Structure 1
Amino acid sequence: MYFTICIPTRNRQRYCIEAIKAIAESEETDFEVIVADNSDDATILDDYFRTQLNDSRFRLLPPESTVLSMVDNWERTMPEVGGRWVSVIGDDDHIDPGVLQLIRRYEREQANLEVVSWARMNYNWPDNRAIQTLAAVPVGHSTHIPDRKTVSNQLYRWSQREKRPAGGFGIYHGAVRRSLMERIKRKYSDRYFEHPTVDFDNTCKVVTEAKAMIFCQRPFSVLGACVASNSASTQSFEAMQKLVDDFYREMGSGQQIQDDDFPFSPKLPGLAIISSIAATTWWFCRKYGVDNDGFQENFAHSAIQECLTSRTAEEYRLKVQGLRIGFEAFEGGKWAALFDPPEEFTPPVSQNQLCGVFKNNMYIRESGLEKIVTPAEFYHFAESFLMPVKHVVSAREVFAA
């Protein structure tokens, strides 16, 4: 078996079934899909597998006797993996199994390759458009070998000073050699996945441990956002608060998102995403002795950028207030002066209104996509203006970043 796709899922069976249906349409044969069901009702996916899905490439892991935390549900997929390469996607996402052709090409060309990353489309399901939304399609197709130092600085030090670090290399919407995952387990607490912010936990370890990494600008997967997803919470403080509360309730005893010396709580209004990512990188570097000198100053600038992307003046006020409290407590307030967002803020009138090409992405107003419902349907629509897979995988050129 060459490639394994893992789909952890909890109480979003409708979306998960659509993800399964779309992947099952692939003519590729050298892959498998493991669905880890962590739902309260085990019958829905079980019935679908027994009565409708007649495909030996798919396997279902049923719910256990108690609800698992997200990180534990991810963890139980790995012993089941039969592929040489493994990827994880969300239950409301899509991945093109044809990406295994790309991985094969890169393995032939790149010695010691252990991580393949690609660009991802972004798409909101029709039930997740409470505000004006845009889908995003990366339109490049080049191949890049990343500079290890640059990637590490972006991830551990937040050197780009943007609201999110550009990690990009990991098992979530990427492909990692199974042998690397085994090496990670041996070195890091005898687990494949350790921190509750599981995707960035893996990215931190992959960037540290991988012998060679490669990136393709051509997208091969879609980050879908349904109304029940973590991404959907960015459209509503109320939705975000509920998801955070549910996440903490199901996280399990003995697990925590932030260390005591990092006082930026994901529970603060509007700050769940930036706080959880920053807490993960801070935790990883402290626990495993990774140098992240400069993180504090860069994070202060990133926090300002987080505030400036607010949709409303009230959202801006709440984010500034929460982050200011955090910086006043962080390392004795040493970095508080660097968190200096403007006193007045007016949201841009055109936010999520304009569509077109900007910085190698095609932005599409989703209100005009009446006939497109699922991430897979959006992927196939977007392929009409992307480099065909057969041309990407047949190319020989590799361009260093």
Structure 2
Amino acid sequence: MTLLSICIPTRNRQIYAMSAVRELLTSQRQDFEVVLADNSDDAAPLAQFAKEYADPRLKLLPPQDEVLSMRANWERIVPETSGEWISYIGDDDYLDPELCEVIRVSKKSVPNMDALTWGRLYFVWPEARTAPEVTKMPNGSHLIGIKKEDMIRKLFFWEDASDRPKCPFGVYHGAVKRTVLEDIRTTFSGQYFSHQIVDYDNICRTLMVASSFVYFERPMSVFGACKASNTMGLRDAKAAKTVTEIFRREMDGTIEASNFPFPIELGITAQIGHVIESFKQEQGIEINAWEDNFIKACARNCESQHDRKLFEAQKHGYRKAIIEWKGKDALSAFDPKYKYRPDIPPFIGFNDNELSLDMGIGDAASAAEFYGILDTMMFPVHLLEGRLS
């Protein structure tokens, strides 16, 4: 029986997709599958790759006659999966197949669990780095039950948000039961994914449909950022413009919510704001007392900038949008400070149950290699059942 379907949508980044799949298939586990949805202009590289591997755990969905939007490419994967649980990662990311063991053990402790997520690791591929970078590795290893009402406050009210809501439950670097995705399709728009920004769209819908949420502190996957990734648009102003232009050209719907005057080009906070507002407007959800929290998140989005000119430009853009949205009085919650200090070396060491370390550790050349190195320093997954018994 297939316990887990690992879904990898990809477009014109065949080398990265092959890197992830190649490592996944080294696992001896037989209770997972990899479904690779190729949306590339050239079908040959991944077709040849799949033919050479001939692994029954790998299923390749070839490109369609026309380029699909990101949403449509994600959408077509679910009917092709056979797993009880479904998880998505990017083609420059990595996910440990031992997640199957985490699911198996978690189900014993929480039989009604239908949404699972875990700690996160972040890796910028070497060719995308312009300088040495520090990353953080969470060091916890407990399974924690999370209340749905707490996640609703985190997501829709932006409670305790950084530059984005602290609600990680969804199929992207998370896992949900197939029944949850089917309930999403039948409950809402007849689709598994509706908004163009698919990861947070799914978080909104998963939060409404799922009932039992479990968080595993230990990281089980890596968020990768290669030179051609959408994530680079959050790190590089020039890349952001190109990514946004391509995204708009290939999308099959709208991004912006009505009466929410925050250009998506402003940053991640504005983008997620449009996803959540679109969902609320679609479902007729009206809530109050979230606006100040969102505005504070806008300030934190500005504070993540390392370039002073970009910081000022982003600050000006958010300020203008806030005034148009709620008036000048709303600016009382918007007070971003430029905090980047290149003269102060980044912290490396252990603090607040996280280990900060050089991203270049072990000269890792891929997200999978990076995970493999850090995996040796983390709680062994095969001991999880013994800890809970």
TM, length-normalised to structure 2: 0.95
Q: How far is the alpha carbon of 1:318 from its aligned partner?
A: 1.0
1:28 alignment counterpart: 29
Deviations 1:201-253 (A, max 9, x none): 0011111111211010011111111111122223310011111111111113x
Deviations 1:349-368 (A, max 9, x none): 25773322233222222245
1:16 and 2:17 are equivalent in the alignment: yes
Which ranges of structure 2 fall in alignment gaps of 5 or more residues? none
Provide the rounded CA distance (Å) in 2 between the counterparts of 1:350 and 1:233. 25
Which ranges of structure 1 fall in alignment gaps of 5 or more residues? none
In structure 2, which of residues 350, 365, 373 is the aligned counterpart of residue 381 of structure 1?
373
Q: How far is the alpha carbon of 1:377 from its aligned partner?
A: 1.0
2:330 alignment counterpart: 335
1:284-295 equivalent positions in 2, closer than 5 A: 284-295=279-290
1:5 alignment counterpart: 6
Classify 1:305/1:335 alpha carbon distance in 2 versus 1 (closer, same or farther; 3 Å). same
Q: How far is the alpha carbon of 1:328 from its aligned partner?
A: 1.6
1:354-393 equivalent positions in 2, closer than 5 A: 354-370=347-363, 372-393=364-385
1:316 and 2:311 are equivalent in the alignment: yes
Classify 1:236/1:351 alpha carbon distance in 2 versus 1 (closer, same or farther; 3 Å). farther
**The 10-residue stretch of structure 1 (198-207 or 325-334) with the greater mean CA deviation from structure 2:** 325-334
Classify 1:97/1:350 alpha carbon distance in 2 versus 1 (closer, same or farther; 3 Å). farther
SS of the counterpart of 1:120?
strand
User: Match of 1:22, as an amino acid?
Assistant: E
Report if the CA contact (8 A) 1:133-1:352 is conserved.
no
Provide the rounded CA distance (Å) in 2 between the counterparts of 1:320 and 1:167. 25
Deviations 1:33-78 (A, max 9, x none): 110000011111011111x212110010000011111011000001
2:104 alignment counterpart: 104
Provide the rounded CA distance (Å) in 2 between the counterparts of 1:323 and 1:167. 23
2:388 alignment counterpart: 396
1:2-401 equivalent positions in 2, closer than 5 A: 2-50=3-51, 52-252=52-252, 255-268=253-266, 271=267, 273-331=268-326, 335-342=330-337, 345=338, 347-349=340-342, 353-370=346-363, 372-396=364-388
Report if the CA contact (8 A) 1:123-1:136 is conserved.
no
Provide the rounded CA distance (Å) in 2 between the counterparts of 1:340 and 1:2. 47
Q: How far is the alpha carbon of 1:346 from its aligned partner?
A: 5.2
Provide the rounded CA distance (Å) in 1 between the counterparts of 2:339 and 2:145. 40
TM, length-normalised to structure 1: 0.93
How many residues in Structure 1 have an aligned counterpart in Structure 2?
A: 388
User: Match of 2:324, as an amino acid?
Assistant: A
Provide the rounded CA distance (Å) in 2 between the counterparts of 1:180 and 1:131. 42
Q: How far is the alpha carbon of 1:132 from its aligned partner?
A: 3.2
SS of the counterpart of 2:264?
coil
Q: Identity, % of aligned pairs?
A: 32
Provide the rounded CA distance (Å) in 2 between the counterparts of 1:125 and 1:262. 35
Classify 1:393/1:197 alpha carbon distance in 2 versus 1 (closer, same or farther; 3 Å). farther
Q: How far is the alpha carbon of 1:28 from its aligned partner?
A: 0.6
> What is the Cα-based RMSD across aligned positions, in Å?
1.7
User: Match of 1:26, as an amino acid?
Assistant: S
Deviations 1:258-300 (A, max 9, x none): 11311111124xx2x2211111112112221345422211111
